[in-house]
Structure 1
Amino acid sequence: MGVFDKAKTVSHLGAEERGPYICLECEESFEVLYHSCPVCDAYDVRRAKWVE
């Protein structure tokens, strides 16, 4: 791994833009926190920062 690869990994450059919340079941991202996922009805919606 080169210096630029490491910098890209740490800064998350080139990563898809995701919402601040993510469902752990279907991996859908959201801008707001839901109690249950509106896509798959799972109760595993969490802050994306905590999952990474």
Structure 2
Amino acid sequence: MKSAYSTNIKERHDHSTAIMDRSGRLIVQAIESLPIHIASLHGLMHALLEKHG
């Protein structure tokens, strides 16, 4: 995934990618994903699902 041209992102791999199902459960994540990013997705997805169904 190319999301930006940034040394921080390029060198540190400071981004994460995941696919979640309609219930907000994690299906798959990229190998280079950071655990702290993936952990925050759980709460974010539940908030989005409550607001937008």
**TM-score by structure 1 length?**
0.22
Going by fraction, where is helix more abundant, 1 or 2?
2
Larger radius of gyration: 1
